[in-house]
A and B are shown apart, each in its own frame.
Chain A
Amino acid sequence: MALATLTFQSCDEELDIHTPGNLVPPAVNEDSSLPSIKVNNVQLHAEAFGNPNDPMVVVLHGGPGADYRYLINCKALANDGYRVVFYDQRGAGLSQRFPGTTYTMQLLYDDLDAVIAHYRSSPDQKVFLLGHSWGAMLATAYINQNLDAVAGAILCEPGGFKWGDVEDYIERSRDFKYLSEALNDAVFSDQFITGKDDDHAVLDYKFDLWAAADETTDSPTGNEGKLPHWRSGAVTFDAYIRLAERTRPDWTTHLSQYTTKVLFVYSENNKAYGIAHAQKVSSAYPNADLFETLDAGHDMLTFQTGWNNTYPAIRNYLGNLK
């Protein structure tokens, strides 16, 4: 072992797994060349497209802890007369990291408030939310607290708006076969790399390796392939799952008062979801229009077939409320 160590110490460059930029890209607070906004005491990786005066569509990515790279197709709405705003939620993607103990749902609501305020060109500019998976859950939680804040919402396969429904969906969507390569790949790397709870670069890298096990095309969620992304937010993922398990949230308590129509999208190929779950989850809204994306899975907004089948429904929905 000593010989091996000496040998590698003589190599030209010492690479450290803790250094952002080696195994994971740096976050916006570590690389000033990345597009970002500073709001609510957090630096968020963010971009906006389209006329700043057009109705705003804020895109909310999944996870928690994913990033908006896989939703970039939604930029097409800028050509339909919308100001499309993307941002990585705090602790996720290329946005600034924080200790796991600091994450709360209220922070996410406040961040979304601040993002809207940052990009808003006038007080009467309409704001729509477009959320995918966890992003759709966040959108609903935000609407539940801020009934007058948004002019409409597109909700793409949220796991649920009550934690029990989310747990049911997670259980159906995780199909690790005993003794499978996928299960092995998810855990064998734990002996190669370890990181403390503030080692964001290490933990995010490990999370990417762990999540790769879930990207197989035989997953019950009907994924077409690997989702493009920049960097996973391992600590924020863990923090929000733990928070939800502890508090068992119900984000539907005021939704009966939100009478604006919402577009609720689910996918044909996601066998863990299905129309029964879609009806159950969407029933929290008094006015939900269900739309099934054919020939696509949970990643319906990312790959060409799913996007081509979903985009017209999104455009029509927004056009009726614009």
Chain B
Amino acid sequence: MRRCRHVACRLTFRAGVSVTADLVQPYRTLRDNLKRRDRSLREKVVSLEDAASFVNDGASIGIGGSTLSRTPMAMIWQLIRAGKKNLSCSRCIISTDGDLLFGSGAANHIVSSWFSQGILWGLSKVMRHYVEKDLARYDEWSHMAMGMRFRAGGMGLPFLPMRSMLGSDVARIRPEVKEFDCPFTGERLLLVPALNPDVALIHVQRCDAYGNAQIDGLQFMDIDLALAANRVILTTERIVSNDQIRRAPDHTKIPFFCVDAVVEVPFGAMPHECYGTYEPAMDHLDAYVAQVNGDPVQGMRDYLDKYVYGPKSWAEFLSLIGVEALVTARRQGESIFDV
């Protein structure tokens, strides 16, 4: 109990200053930021280019989806094209999107539980190049810790307690975590700090012009992320009418007042998947991995030139992936509903 009081006091005394201030946004700031946002029921459809202006250099960005699923790839693609710099990006599991963010210089910091291109391809040479040469930082947390951090952020709390990560080196090298003895039971718990990104990027199957978002299938940590962030950019496969949303409100996972911008981008997670809509473009990803792991600097530069900086629009990027690949991915994606 003695240790518990000690930690509790320290947290109390430090609230709003020093270590805690850098790590966890003060409650007053979070509330003030929210108060300033226009939360009225209004249309907020913009272009990818306009949405990118919501993101300042150096901002902290929360990325929705997980691994190869519902990655807000078109938005990330646009941020890279817009020349964003020094972003700090958090995502529960990050894959080729993390490669592109490091390789383009858009991000120099990734917070995640797992960072590689995908289990099929082994280690990401791009991640290894940037991290091992100290050119960029990858902070590792357990998957549940990422979830608890977004959840605390979404709940308006500075931290949440949990029982994993204790005893491991994952916790030992994270100065941000605190061990804590429960005031009720005396059990050892780990406290993880809230994560309230400046901007969340989330891709969904459909939403209305106000931002009421419906997510099919796996929702990952997107609801907590949307509630936690100070601003939310939604990209969507399809904008539907508000009447259609109201017909099935139980499908709505993110309420409109969390959302600041809506961008309609069909195939907006390509070359990753979007549940029930398309599976990943595996041939494109195989070729991507071979190229960037072959040479994480020049290979990546060539990829960015051809697929990110080169195309005039997202549609032109899709045409580089190819109609055949898109048709195959679409057929496989929809097959999840076959009985």
A and B: partners?
A: no
